Chain A
Amino acid sequence: MKMRSLLWGVAALVGFGSSALAGTKYVEPVWINTSVRSASGSSADTRNTPDTLQYISCAVQGYGAATGASSVAVCWAQDAKRTAVSCFTFEPELRQAAAAINGDSEIQFNWDASGHCTMIQATNGSTFAPKQP
């Protein structure tokens, strides 16, 4: 009797565990298309890839009045094929978008021929996994 209860308990735990893992999930390592000048990837999925090549990030750099106050947003990414891309922008709207990126965000950025960012997107949602250590 005791053994049967234990088995039911294990089965229940497995069942609950499965339901807790439900939900739409995206796995999105770095994707780069130089033809359309676009890069995207989930910060967490990129970090969780087994290779040590991929990365995707954005930063907002601020410079003080002593050198002419300004701030610039820069984004960069590299995929598993070692294709590296980047962009920069002084536009307030794009800097604001870059500042919305957090550690588990899905990031997308586009750029033009001169390297200026033309779009920065930060998606924070349930579909993207958190980073593993």
Chain B
Amino acid sequence: MTRPGWIAYASGLALAGALGYAVPRGERSVERPPATCAPRPSALDEVALRAAVRAELANLPRGVLAAATATAASGPVPAPTAAPPPRPEATRALGDGHRLLDDALARRRWSSDDRASFRALMAQVDGDGRAELLGELVPAINDGRLEVATGGTPF
């Protein structure tokens, strides 16, 4: 073999080795199914598809698209707003409730009149106020700081 011929032969071998043809790897070759590609839609299909989408969007009720666009543009959902301030009547009733309880505790007695006033105030305060007043009255009864003198129902 002439020198250029040898060089060409060696180059061919190196190329074949790089491509994995010349070196046996001892692995069992796996029969792979021939690769298939989805048929590429023709230009005509794309045009038809775009036209159909445009037609669908055009048929949407007015406002839906705007709302969807606004929702997408508005970004993350805002944090819930703070609770509204308590109503003045509820604040007043809560103060009256505390005074009622303070008076009863001073007398160490929970009378029928106290119960009636308490019920009326419980209907005026808000949910937190109800929990607050009950949280003051109930332990006072349980600890014996208030004698229940209503002849029955203390609430």
Show the binding face of A for B, using Cβ within 8 Å: 34, 37, 55, 57, 59, 61, 63, 67-70, 72, 74, 76, 78, 82-88, 90, 111, 113-115
Q: With A and B bound together, what is the CA distance between A115 and B131 in angstroms?
A: 11
Does B152 reach chain A (CB closer than 8 Å)?
yes
Of all chain A residues, the one with the shortest Cβ separation from B138 is A115
Residue of A67, A83, A88 with most partner-chain B CB within 10 A: A67
Of all chain B residues, the one with the shortest Cβ separation from A72 is B130
Number of B interface residues, CB 8 Å? 25
- Chain A min CB distance to B140 (Å): 9
B137 cross-chain contacts in A, Cβ below 8 A: 86, 115
Query: Which among A55, A69, A83, A115 is the interface contact of B152 at CB below 8 angstroms?
Result: A55
Residue contact B127 to A86, C-beta cutoff 8 Å: no
Q: With A and B bound together, what is the CA distance between A61 and B154 in angstroms?
A: 13
Residue contact A63 to B135, C-beta cutoff 8 Å: no
A113 cross-chain contacts in B, Cβ below 8 A: 139
**With contacts A34-B142, A76-B153, A76-B155 known, what are 9 further pairs, Cβ within 8 A?**
A55-B153, A57-B152, A57-B153, A86-B137, A88-B138, A88-B155, A111-B138, A115-B137, A115-B142
- Chain B min CB distance to A103 (Å): 15
Residue contact A86 to B126, C-beta cutoff 8 Å: no
Q: With A and B bound together, what is the CA distance between A112 and B127 in angstroms?
A: 20
Given A78-B148, A84-B148, A113-B139, verify A63-B130 contact (CB < 8 Å). yes
B153 cross-chain contacts in A, Cβ below 8 A: 55, 57, 59, 76
Of all chain B residues, the one with the shortest Cβ separation from A88 is B134
B155 cross-chain contacts in A, Cβ below 8 A: 59, 61, 74, 76, 86, 88
Of all chain A residues, the one with the shortest Cβ separation from B146 is A84
Residue contact A70 to B148, C-beta cutoff 8 Å: no
| 109-143 of chain B: CB within 8 A of chain A | 122-128, 130-131, 134-135, 137-139, 141-142
